[in-house]
C-alpha cells in the first residue's frame, strides 16, 4: 500500500522528518514553523498520499486510538444495537473499536481483556460478565473503563446502566395493579447486576403487595424458558402472570403458553424487558419496557471521551437511565 513514511516526505520536502511530524500533527503553530514550510510539507504529503502508521506512533507514545468494547455477544439484539451506536460514536470521535465477545464466559473475558490491553487500547467499554471488580479497578488506573448495561457491585468503576431495580418493580406493580396475585418471575443468570436488580425490584414490589415472590429459571435462553414455563404452567402454583426479564425468555414463554393452549392474555398475562422492531408484530403484542439504548451508548461514550481527553478527571460516576413502557395486549386486568 502507501509506502510513504515521514522520511520520504521529509526528503521530498527538503526538511527534516521532525518538521514533517510537527506539521502533520498540527503543531506547526506551537513550534513556530514558517507558513511556507508548513504549506510545502502539507502539499507534498497530500501529493504522495501519505498515510501515517498509527502503530509506529503507538509504540512510541504507548497509547493508541483504539477503544476496546467487551460484550457477551452481539447476536443478542440489545448488545448489537448498543455496540453499533458505540462503534459509530467512536468513529466520529477518531477512535477505532476493537469489539470482542466473551459469551458470558469468565475465562474468555479475562483473556480478551489481556489481549486488548496488550494492544494498547486507549479506553475500554465493558458489559462485565464476571466478578472482576478488583482487576478492572487495577486497570482503570491507567486505562479508563466505563461499564455499560451492568456494573460490578462494589467496584469503583464508572457505569451507565438502566435503572433496573425500577424496571423490575414497575413491571411487577403494573401486574399487581391489574389484579394479579400469582406473579412469577422468570429470572436470568442472577450474577449480573442488570438481572439481579430487576429481581430485587420484583421481590420488593411483591413484598409490598403482600405477595409471595416466585422465581424460577436461570438463563436468558428461549429454549430453556420454554421448558421451564411448561413446568410452571403445569405446576400447582400456576401463575396468572409472568414477568420475563428479557426477550429471549418472552419468546419461550409465549411458545409454552401456545403449546399448552393458554391464551395470552386471557389465561396468562406476560410482560417483558426490551424492545426491537419485531416486537410490535408478534401477537399479542407483549407489554414491555424499552431501555434507552441510544442514550446509554451516547452517555457511556461521552463519559469515556471525557476521561480520555483529560486524564486527570478520574472521578467515577454512576448513571442510571429511566426506561419507557410500551403497552401491548398481553396483560389482562382481573
Site for a second copy in 76-135 (CB under 8 A): 77, 80-81, 83-84, 87-88, 91, 96-101, 103, 112, 114-120
- Beta-carbon contacts of 166 under 8 Å, excluding residues fewer than 6 positions away, are 201, 322, 323
Q: Which does 74 bind (CB under 5 to 8 A by kind): a second copy, DNA, none?
A: a second copy
Q: Closest distance between a second copy and the C-beta of residue 213, in Å?
A: 28
Strands 241-244 and 214-216, by their bridges, are unpaired
Cα separation, 234 vs 25, in Å, equals 69
Alpha carbon 244 to its chain's center: 20
The closest of 142, 138, 172 to 152, measured between CA atoms, is 138
Return the number of the residue (116 or 175) whose C-beta is nearest DNA.
116
Return the number of the residue (14 or 54) whose C-beta is nearest a second copy.
54
A 10 A CB-CB count for 320 gives 14
Cα separation, 184 vs 257, in Å, equals 14
* Region near a second copy per CB under 8 A, out of 35-43, 75-83, 170-178, 300-308: 75-83
For a second copy, how many residues bind (rule: CB under 8 A)?
Answer: 54
- Residue 139, classified by CB atoms within 10 Å of its CB into exposed (0-12), middle (13-18) or buried (19+), is buried
Query: x/- string (CB under 8 A) for a second copy, residues 134-173?
Result: -----x--xx------------------------------
Q: Which does 105 bind (CB under 5 to 8 A by kind): DNA, a second copy, none?
A: none
Grid coordinates of 305: 471521551
Q: Closest distance between DNA and the C-beta of residue 307, in Å?
A: 19
Q: Closest distance between a second copy and the C-beta of residue 187, in Å?
A: 20
Alpha carbon 166 to its chain's center: 19
Q: Which does 32 bind (CB under 5 to 8 A by kind): DNA, a second copy, none?
A: DNA
Cα separation, 186 vs 200, in Å, equals 13
Distances in Å between the alpha carbon of 85 and those of 94, 126, 130?
Answer: 14, 14, 24
Helix H or strand E encompassing 89:
helix 77-92
Q: Closest distance between DNA and the C-beta of residue 118, in Å?
A: 8
Q: What residues line the site for DNA (CB under 7 A)?
A: 5-7, 14-19, 21-22, 24-25, 31-34, 36-38, 52-53, 56-57, 59-62
- Beta-carbon contacts of 99 under 8 Å, excluding residues fewer than 6 positions away, are 69, 71, 74, 83, 87
Q: Closest distance between a second copy and the C-beta of residue 219, in Å?
A: 15
Q: Which does 143 bind (CB under 5 to 8 A by kind): a second copy, DNA, none?
A: a second copy
Return the number of the residue (217 or 248) whose C-beta is nearest a second copy.
248
Interface with a second copy (CB under 8 A), residue from 281, 309, 310, 312 = 281
Q: Closest distance between DNA and the C-beta of residue 43, in Å?
A: 14
DSSP 8-state class, residue 123: E
Return the number of the residue (17 or 191) whose C-beta is nearest DNA.
17
Site for a second copy in 228-267 (CB under 8 A): 248, 251, 254-255
What DSSP string describes 313-327?
A: -----EEEE--EEE-
Q: Which does 33 bind (CB under 5 to 8 A by kind): DNA, a second copy, none?
A: DNA
The closest of 295, 303, 149, 121 to 220, measured between CA atoms, is 149
Q: Which does 22 bind (CB under 5 to 8 A by kind): DNA, a second copy, none?
A: DNA
Interface with a second copy (CB under 8 A), residue from 278, 313, 314, 329 = 278
Amino acid at each position: 500500500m502507501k509506502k510513504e513514511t515521514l522520511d520520504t516526505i521529509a526528503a521530498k520536502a527538503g526538511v527534516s522528518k521532525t518538521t514533517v511530524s510537527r506539521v502533520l500533527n498540527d503543531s506547526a503553530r506551537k513550534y513556530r514553523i514558517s507558513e511556507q514550510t508548513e504549506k510545502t510539507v502539507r502539499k507534498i504529503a497530500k501529493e504522495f498520499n501519505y498515510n501515517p502508521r498509527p502503530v509506529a506512533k503507538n509504540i512510541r507514545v504507548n497509547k493508541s486510538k483504539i477503544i476496546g468494547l467487551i460484550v457477551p455477544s452481539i447476536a443478542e439484539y440489545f448488545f448489537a444495537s448498543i455496540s453499533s451506536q458505540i462503534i459509530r460514536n467512536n468513529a466520529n470521535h477518531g477512535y477505532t473499536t476493537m469489539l470482542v465477545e466473551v459469551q458470558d464466559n469468565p475465562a474468555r473475558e479475562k483473556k480478551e481483556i489481556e489481549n486488548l490491553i496488550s494492544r494498547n487500547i486507549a479506553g475500554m467499554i465493558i458489559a462485565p460478565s464476571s466478578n472482576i471488580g478488583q482487576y478492572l479497578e487495577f486497570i482503570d488506573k491507567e486505562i479508563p473503563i466505563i461499564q455499560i448495561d451492568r456494573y460490578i457491585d462494589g467496584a469503583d468503576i464508572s457505569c451507565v446502566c438502566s435503572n433496573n431495580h425500577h424496571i423490575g418493580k414497575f413491571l411487577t406493580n403494573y401486574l399487581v395493579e391489574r389484579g394479579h396475585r400469582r406473579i412469577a418471575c422468570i429470572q436470568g443468570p442472577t450474577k449480573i447486576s442488570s438481572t439481579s436488580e430487576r429481581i430485587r425490584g420484583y421481590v420488593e414490589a411483591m413484598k409490598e403487595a403482600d405477595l409471595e415472590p416466585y422465581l424460577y429459571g436461570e438463563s436468558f435462553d428461549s429454549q430453556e424458558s420454554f421448558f421451564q414455563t411448561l413446568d410452571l404452567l403445569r405446576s400447582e402454583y400456576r401463575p396468572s402472570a409472568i414477568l420475563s426479564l428479557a426477550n429471549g425468555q418472552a419468546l419461550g414463554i409465549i411458545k409454552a403458553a401456545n403449546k399448552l393452549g393458554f391464551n395470552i392474555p386471557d389465561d396468562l398475562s406476560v410482560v417483558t424487558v426490551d424492545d426491537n422492531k419485531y416486537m410490535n408484530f408478534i401477537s399479542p403484542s407483549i407489554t414491555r419496557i424499552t431501555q434507552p439504548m441510544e442514550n446509554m451508548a451516547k452517555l457511556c461514550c461521552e463519559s469515556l471521551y471525557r476521561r480520555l481527553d483529560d486524564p486527570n478527571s478520574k472521578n467515577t460516576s454512576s448513571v442510571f437511565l429511566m426506561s419507557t413502557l410500551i403497552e401491548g395486549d398481553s396483560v389482562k386486568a382481573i
